[in-house]
Structure 1
Amino acid sequence: MFWALKNNYTYNDAFLEFKKPQRVVTKEEALSLEQVEELFKFECKSKSLEQVKDIFVFQCLTGLRYGELKKINKRVVKENCIILKEEKDSSKEEREIPLFEISNYILKKYDFKLPLLSNQKQNEYIKDVLKNAEFDYEVEYTRVKGVEQTTVVKPFYKRVSTHTARRTFVTIMRNKGIADKTIMSITGHKDQKTFNMYHKVDNNARLDAVMNVFGKMELPKLKVI
């Protein structure tokens, strides 16, 4: 529209008064470290659902995007790290994603070739896994249509996708006090504003923060009357 106005293809400049609606960030979900551990130990009803669960947990423990999982093989795993190179931009530095006992276990279980489904199917089946594991407590979030904002309540498992795993990684690491720069070097985030959207502060994190700061304070001795 700007180009058309500048080159005299239109004289209607009413669009200049258009103001982009303010972006509303809805509440996104993340699992706690205890929930990730609980999910890892959960026994699924079928082999296919077990694979879906393992891949989701692996994402929670590495912070990898779902699309990046297809790059994993024995050649890119060195000294307990996944070495990822940016295919589209060779000038970018390699990312090193540390592995530990459980993430290594999952990789070895599938001989370093994760049994990936399409992103759409993974999103569909991970909801089934979490439902079976009784992650069915209610959560609420906002939905915006035009200028109208409404609050919606749904079971937790219905709010989970492959992106939830990546958000879970960031949230757990931040809640444990790991520096943003360190986390971003693992996840590949370059923009702090975008990175901040991945962090969900939960009640346990709030409680820990308050206890760490004020927990050692003692009540004064009561005066005897």
Structure 2
Amino acid sequence: MSNDVKTFIAYKSTAKERSYLTQEEVDKIIAKEFTIGRLQQVRDIFIFCCFTGLSYADVKKLKRSEIALGIDGEKWIFTKRQKTNTFSHIPILPNAFDILRRYKDNPECENRDLVLPVLSNQKMNAYLKEIADVCCINKHLTFHMARHTFATTVTLSNGVPIETVSKILGHTALKTTQHYAKVLDIKISHDMGKLKSSLVITKL
């Protein structure tokens, strides 16, 4: 195998890696009090996506009319993914619901029938870099990391079945979601720990 081919394979392998935040890192960002309004706004929108799995394009276009009561009588998001044109039905978790209420009376959102005042992707990522610095998070924090965090830390790590996660994310194929499951060594450790505790040990 030539060096060029090896380099290409190594690049493809690295490109498939999906960076995400741990629960501790998410908690740090949530707990941080920002005195600068733009950082608080970007933090709120980022955390909202950590708990809904929405991408930048989908949260930017999310309308208030796309929030409605779901089958359980609780508030859900009913939207169509811009990238795949598939529908996503997303129950709104408490952290995300708190942020919705925070922007309920935001003039910009009211005038444009939007859920959140999302800035340009370039600005969001620039401010997220500042947020990572002040929160002492040593990762290249980008907006798309919120979606990865939802898939890994928020859902799969807490035992949500991969089929459910795939449906919420609006993936057209389960193998797309399975990429997230591959990185969860901590989930494997947790599941195997539960198995060990339930096994009857027979001495040899």
Deviation at 1:113, TM superposition (A): 2.9
Find out whether 1:25 has 2:25 as its counterpart.
Answer: no
Residue 49 of structure 2 corresponds to which residue in structure 1?
59
User: Secondary structure, in 3 states, of the residue corresponding to 1:162?
Assistant: coil
Poorly superposed stretches of 4+, deviation over 4 Å: 86-90, 216-221
Change (3 A) 1:217 1:66: same
Between stretches 26-35 and 175-184, larger displacement belongs to 26-35
Query: Bigger shift: 186-195 or 55-64?
Result: 186-195
* 8 Å Cα contact 2:77-2:89 kept in structure 1: yes
Q: Residue 78 of structure 1 aligns with which residue?
A: 68
2:143 equivalent among 152, 159, 162: 162
How far is 1:105 from its partner? Answer: 1.3
1:99 is aligned to 92
CA contact (8 A) 1:174 1:180 kept: yes
CA RMSD of aligned residues (A): 2.8
| In 2, Cα distance between equivalents of 1:207 and 1:49 | 36
- Alpha-carbon displacement from aligned partner over 1:17-37 (angstroms, at most 9, x marks no partner): xx8943223543211234323
Instruction: Label 1:131 to 1:89 Cα distance change in 2 as closer, same or farther (>3 A).
Output: closer
C-alpha distance in 2 between matches for 1:86 and 1:220: 52
Distance 1:103 1:200 in 2: 26
Map residues 144-183 of structure 1 onto 2, 5 A cutoff. Answer: 155-156=138-139, 159-172=140-153, 173-183=155-165
1:60/1:169 contact within 8 Å kept:
yes
Contact 2:129 2:141 in 1 (8 A): yes
1:38-67 CA distances to partner (integer Å, 9 max, x unpaired)?
Answer: 311211231100011111111100000110
Q: Match of 1:205, as an amino acid?
A: K
Q: Match of 2:30?
A: 40
TM superposition score normalised by structure 1 = 0.69
Quickly say closer, same or farther: Cα 1:42–1:184, change in 2 above 3 A: same
Distance 1:118 1:110 in 2: 18
Question: What are the ranges of 5 or more consecutive residues in structure 2 without an aligned counterpart?
Answer: 70-74, 105-113
Kindly indicate which of the two structures has a greater share of residues assigned to strand: 1
Partner in structure 2 of residue 114 of structure 1 = 116
- 1:118 to 1:87, Cα distance in 2 relative to 1, 3 A: closer
Within 2, Cα distance between the matches of 1:203 and 1:182?
20
How many angstroms does 1:163 deviate by? 1.2
Please give the per-residue CA displacement for 1:61-104, whole angstroms capped at 9, x wherever unaligned. 000011001222321100110110356887x5x32111022211
Unaligned runs of 5+ in 1: 1-18, 136-154
Q: 2:182 and 2:34 mapped to 1: Cα distance?
A: 27
Q: Whose radius of gyration is greater, 1 or 2?
A: 1
* Among 183, 191, 207, the residue aligned to 2:189: 207
The answer to whether the 8 A contact 2:58-2:82 is kept is no
Is the 8 Å Cα contact of residues 83 and 95 (structure 1) preserved in structure 2? yes
Residue 125 (structure 2) aligns with: 123
Q: Distance in 2 between matches of 1:86 and 1:194?
A: 15
Normalized per residue, the structure richer in helix is: 2
The AA in structure 2 aligned to 1:207 is S
Change in CA separation of 1:117 and 1:134 when aligned onto 2, cut-off 3 Å: same
CA distance in 2: counterparts of 1:96 and 1:71, whole angstroms:
15
